[in-house]
Structure 1
Amino acid sequence: MNVRQRCFDISQACWNHGQKSLRKIAQVTQISKSSVHRHQQAMKRRDLHPESYLWEIPEAYQWLRLLVFATLYIFGIQQGVGCEAISRFFHILRLQNVIGVSPSSLRRIEAQMREQILNYQVQMQQQLENHSAPIEVRAGADETFFPEVVLVLMDLVSGYIILEDYSTDRQYLTWSQKAKSALNNLGTTVIVKSLVSDRASALIQLAVHMGCLSIPDLFHAMRGISRVIGCRFGNRLNQIKKQLRTLHNQALNYSGHSQSIPKKLAQKIAVLQEQYNFLLTGKLAYHNILHQITCAVHPFAIDGSGFQTTVDVATILYQQLPQLATLGYTYQIPKLETAISTFSGQVSAIAAGINLWWQSVEESLQLEQVSPDLSNWLLGYFLPHFYWLSVIKQTKNPALKEIYTQVSRHYSSHLLEHPLTSKVSKNEWIHWRSWAEQMSAQFQRSSSAIEGRNGYLSRIHHCGRGISSKHLQVLTVIHNFDIQRADKTTAAQRLFNQEFPALFDWVISQMGDLPLPRKSYQII
């Protein structure tokens, strides 16, 4: 029996039997009289605050234990808050006389929690060895720098991080070895259907090695154009705006003194305003082209005319290139021709993802063995409705969100008007809705999830002045087995389609008692 348990037993005896003699409490608790006396004196010294008595109760101590571990787990391990700040937090809560909350004590607890998190991963990998069903992966790959290179390979559908590890370089051989090892560690047969990347040569070779389709990241491809055009318009517009603000202030000074604005000043304002309007027209045209490109890369037409194929999408994308060239000629934008050529070389690969997705949809329906009428209803009415709903949830740009909302309303009205819609039972609707949401999630045209992950790691790297290899492994396990989406599922649950023990609950079940304070009381 440890010190804390003896305190609980003595406290419980006092609560149940009142203030009895030392001999009586010793008989009830089977603890020596001298030990009972020492613990009672220590309890009196700890009784410094109105809430102090709570920490002598086992249930309250378990809550306190949960508070400490949760604070270190969320803020210390996940968010990179230092143990000095967390120690200060616990001092504000007046816990320094109850448990050990010094920075060194908290660091030891954090280290133990990290070890248990890695032990959790080992156990889950052993559990996955019995997972016989093959899994399909639509991967995304990218690198980030801290300044060391970190290679990241993620299943874009589930969000499961397959590979996240430091590397000395980002060459093809390094990618190939690490990716192969990471896929083997999943413990089951993995079928990689596609690899979305920024088209680095090593990643293109990696896709060939995996036997899957290499898809250019749409937003990386568009950024090649934005670097040339967007900066040109943005910088020039800001310069003219500042000049106009200065000239308008001068004009206001003349008006304030009841003086007429000089003709030369008025001419300058008129010329700059004309230049500003000219550039603003070009900027709006440029944004419209980007929206056309973004709206084109979908399996369903943005105008509501039905489904699209690879050829349809490629045709629309190629049609935007002459407009970009005209814009570059009109506004004398240098290096735009090279950017257009680079984008043009990626159009066919970007559009190839459309047919790959349709192939997956058709294979799924073949397994369901549906009738031709039901198949037409699902592909032409039901699936488009839920696809555009999923796109709306993912879109943050207000203009694009409005466009997608109008398209969604169009497909929704067509779905409600179809005679088969009213004949589908509630259970069938739930089944096919789940199917439609899964199919919609499988269409991946960018690796923005990896970019978000890289941004998170950059912040943790800055907060902690670096991320050790072991800490990076811990963060990967937390991402895969603990971070939940709105549907309360983790990345591991979505990828392997099975339940796993809650990571945090498992970790604290493996942790011992909280450390005792250095001093049982504090002289005030």
Structure 2
Amino acid sequence: MERLKSLVYRYGLGDKVIASIEKAERLLPAMQQTLCFVTETINTRLKEFDLNEEITDAIHDQLIPALYLQRVAQRMTTAEKAQPIAATSQALLESLRQPEHPIMSLPEQERAQIEAVANECADLFQRSSSAVEGRNGHLALWHHHLHRLSDERLSALTIVHNYHNAAGNDTPAQRLFQRPHDSLFAYLLNQVDLPRRPAQKRVKPDSKPVLAMAA
């Protein structure tokens, strides 16, 4: 990080870039702890199978990442974003399914057990990383919210204050002009376009073993 900062100063990139680097630096300890926890948990679970090094490495480097990428692809908002992630996941799994791969020499029942544990590990990493990202994102939004009110937000809050009758009393606008006014809520209903219907929930495909041997 210090080297990055020195490069920023050397090329005069400004304080905003330095602030971004320092923000990333503050996130590193939490991410390191998350990765250590997940890695230790995965190692502990895989030791239960007493596998050779080649198969263990394949689970670490291919199977669990592929299953995790499946989850990431499912969370994408568009097919365009999901497709390359799903393709990477599929490529990793396809190499594991080849008849000559050592993992295919294991009994089918043991492969199913390994796949179940790998799914648990992928879920664990997803939950752990989401917790860190979600917490940091939440704090960032609050910081942005409190740092400065935009002109649009300030105008909206002013209108709500002047025209919204929350407590059942006269609004400030009524007291100022000495006459009633239309309901702010009714006015908004007439002026604002209704939101689109939410997208239909995607139907998840039937769960099939990912370690089934390729034909």
TM-score band w.r.t. shorter chain: 0.3 to 0.5
TM-score by length of 2: 0.46
Structure having the higher helix fraction is 2
TM-score by length of 1: 0.21
Structure having the higher strand fraction is 1
